[in-house]
Structures are given as C-alpha cells and as structure tokens.
Amino acid sequence: MSADRVEVRPRKLRRVAIPIAVVLVLVFGLIGLLLRNTPTGVVFSVSDQVAMVLLGVLLAGGVLLLARPRLRADADGVEVRNIIGTQRYSWPLVRAFSFPDGAPWARLELPEDEYVPIMAIQAADGEQAVLAMRQLRELRRQTDTAN
C-alpha cells in the first residue's frame, strides 16, 4: 500500500475461509466417492455421487465469498467490494471513514447519515485494520488539499 493508493483485504478471514473451502470439497468428494449401496438397502446412483461432489463445491464457493471483500482507494475515489457487489464512490461523496466501537468492520460514511460497510477492514485483523484506517484518512486529507 502506498500513500497515493490504498488496497486492503481481510487477512484472518481469508486464512480461515480458504482451508475450509478446500476441506469441504475434499470431504464431499470423498463422501461422493464412497457413496454406494448401504446395509439398509438404500441404493445410491452415480448421479447421487456427482450431486454430493457438486454440493461440496457449492458450499466451498459460499465460504469463499467471505474472502472476497476488498477496498481500493486512490485519487479518484473509493471502491468497496463486499461479499456481493462492488461500488465506487468519488471523494466528494465520502464524508468519513469510521470504525464504531464493537463493530466487526469499518464503514464508509456518506451524506444523509448513510453508510456502507467496509468488510475488507475487519476488527479481527487488529494492527492491519488500524494501519488501513490511517492510510485511508491520510489519502482523504491528501485529496482534499489537492482539490
């Protein structure tokens, strides 16, 4: 991260989500592979086995969505990508960056008491979150003085 550009992603959440997704695919793949006839008389077909593998892939994809958040800020504005959706805000729309007490992540304050969660800056990341907030506020000051 440089002074004229800030990019942040959650660290701890990514370290947890990626291995969980891999384990889900492996476990459901193994279940699908071992799914055959049972002593109860239930017969599983190949389509059932494929469905188990696909279920594991879908669950892993859902877990990986948690690793998707990102924040990018530069001289033109701020881009916030959360679990679903990406939005870009120009600096005149940005009132402030805040991290309310007890909140799991930071937020981007907008006019008329609106805000956007910034899931890329998470309290669980500790010092990285503090550094990211400082860099965002410094970039904001630089863009304000440049205009």
* Tens digit of each residue's pLDDT (9 = 90 or more) over 100-146: 999 999 999 999 989 999 999 999 999 999 999 999 999 998 888 87
Q: How far is CA 125 from CA 21, 27, 62, in A?
A: 20, 29, 21
How do residues 60-114 score in pLDDT, each as one tens digit?
A: 999 999 999 999 999 899 999 999 999 999 999 999 999 999 999 999 999 998 9
Cα separation of 24 and 63, whole Å?
Answer: 9
**Would you say the pTM of this structure is higher than 0.75?**
yes
Q: Which of 94, 105, 115, 27 is nearest to 66 (CA)?
A: 105
Report which DSSP code applies to 115. E
Q: How far is CA 43 from CA 30, 47, 52, in A?
A: 17, 11, 14
Q: How far is CA 70 from CA 30, 37, 60, in A?
A: 33, 46, 19
